[in-house]
Structure 1
């Protein structure tokens, strides 16, 4: 799909994804005090799957058809949704929410590399590569401007970063698989993905972690929030955007998510924002604008000369 076909609604949905997903890292950091990592994923995905099933019954959403669609939903749900949720939750025990958000900036790069193999129609143009580079520099500036002891210590811990990279690879692969099953409606994808993600996360939680016990209402309310907005609602928005735009367009949200997560941290926990972080915000916005063609180099118009006299 070309850049000119972006609608105002596409940008609004992209903004919603950024704000909701940006808040999820702060919510996960809070929920991890009451639940183990896999159970956070299992509970939020199960609630979201139930909501999606009820929504599907109300709207008469069709089920996936054929082995290809069922297999795509199983892979996107198990490897592209449940696995990233569990790994991000586990890594959040050791890193700040801003660092977890930072790793989302690797998704556009992975999407770009994967699209060269699986989506030949979405080529990596030089201007898009420039936008990706500027966006990644902006994210680095945002996180380096944090300057906290926690962020510095986390930079030397390899395991959380490795888990976050694997998680983002799952997200990137979801975009590739979704674009290859365009014949399946977005709501059907959402239903199938949440169904298989809930099953996968619940099985893993039952096998590897004990059942939650004596959780206060504040812990439950956080997980319920994660289930309703960052899981159920954003899954519907995500596959709607993937159907109507491109995987690369949706991946741009991952440059804005770290900025949103730090803003939420500043508002909710009083984290101090530095000048370097504001510079990073500017680079992030510039990178997205360049890669999506919002900022373009104007071509010089050729001067028109009158035709030479004839005869």
Structure 2
């Protein structure tokens, strides 16, 4: 990975990992529905402006917009709301670790729903290990880590993200839409859905303190808008598989930012459970380092070709699996 892409990779991990702390701070002056509407508007403004400058055409037909709207429901509106409600009663670090299990959930749903993703022994073991780690993180036996309801809401957000990713792979990726067009259309559809839903959700008089204003601006402009741009640039430069490895850093950043800026405790089960989730995810995705071949193994012949590269399919999705997410 080149130095510019490495910088983008680290910056993306910081943006997504810090989003959980920004949500926590924004909730000091906004209700969950107000927070979600604000971050969606800001994120859509960023991507819409970039799409306009680059003259990227948005989807035009009604059937495509119908799929985009459903992708926005599961990939933006529902998880954003569940995270906001969940973080009212649980920590940003815990939320980050639980959302870090999204690729694992995506793999499980893709295996169950897509014929191109058959179950294997490696996937089964990895999923079992990963879900054991999630139980450790939630720690239903320990009430000092926040309410179980809040943690389950954050886990529900991870499930919603996973449903959204599988839906995109099934119905939108085969259409070959430009990634920026898909991301912009999805955020615009999410804004429309949230505008319709907001009057029916809890509302309160906003308390826009400087701390809250800065947090929601960072959350919407950077962690929601700019993060998409960085992610799709990484996909284009390094491939979806390499870009999706950012998911391994996001939970770590979330825990560190929560501890450093919000004084959240770093408990043993949060650390151990998070590591177990990452281990299970790594095994299921076949990312763990393999043992070196035995010295007695026959050398490769001259006829042996190069390793098969990562193939990125339509819509920026890897032919193997795209572990993308948006916090």
With structure 2 as the length reference, what TM-score do the two structures score? 0.74
Structure 2: distance between partners of 1:64 and 1:29: 34
1:1-311 correspondence runs (5 A)? 15-134=10-129, 150-151=144-145, 153-154=146-147, 157=148, 159-180=149-170, 181-182=172-173, 183-210=176-203, 212-238=205-231, 244-245=239-240, 250=244, 253-254=246-247, 256-271=249-264, 273=266, 283=276, 286-287=279-280, 289-290=282-283, 291-300=285-294
Structure 2: distance between partners of 1:74 and 1:232: 18
Deviations 1:38-94 (A, max 9, x none): 100001111111122111110111111433421221112123201110111011111
User: What corresponds to 1:308 in structure 2?
Assistant: none
- Where 2:93 maps in the other structure, the secondary structure is helix
* Residues 281/104 of structure 1: CA separation in 2 closer, same or farther (3 Å cut): closer
Deviations 1:203-251 (A, max 9, x none): 32233233643422221111011001211122334556678426x983x
Structure 2: distance between partners of 1:87 and 1:277: 20
C-alpha contact 2:21 2:262 (8 A) present in aligned 1:
no
Hey, which of these two has a bigger chunk of helix by percent?
Answer: 1
Superposition deviation, residue 285 in structure 1: 5.5
* Residues 31/205 of structure 1: CA separation in 2 closer, same or farther (3 Å cut): same
Structure 2: distance between partners of 1:137 and 1:8: 36
C-alpha contact 1:24 1:230 (8 A) present in aligned 2:
yes
Select between 126-135 and 212-221 the one with higher mean Cα deviation: 126-135
Structure 2: distance between partners of 1:278 and 1:242: 29
Structure 2: distance between partners of 1:14 and 1:50: 23
- Where 1:293 maps in the other structure, the secondary structure is coil
C-alpha contact 1:189 1:239 (8 A) present in aligned 2:
no
Cα RMSD (Å) of the superposition?
Answer: 3.5
The count of corresponding residues between Structure 1 and Structure 2 is 291
Q: What residue ranges of structure 2 are gaps of 5+ in the alignment?
A: 299-327
Structure 1: distance between partners of 2:113 and 2:228: 22
* Residues 122/59 of structure 1: CA separation in 2 closer, same or farther (3 Å cut): same
Structure 1: distance between partners of 2:5 and 2:119: 21
Deviations 1:5-43 (A, max 9, x none): x99988776654432221111111111111001100001
Q: What residue ranges of structure 1 are gaps of 5+ in the alignment?
A: 1-5, 305-311
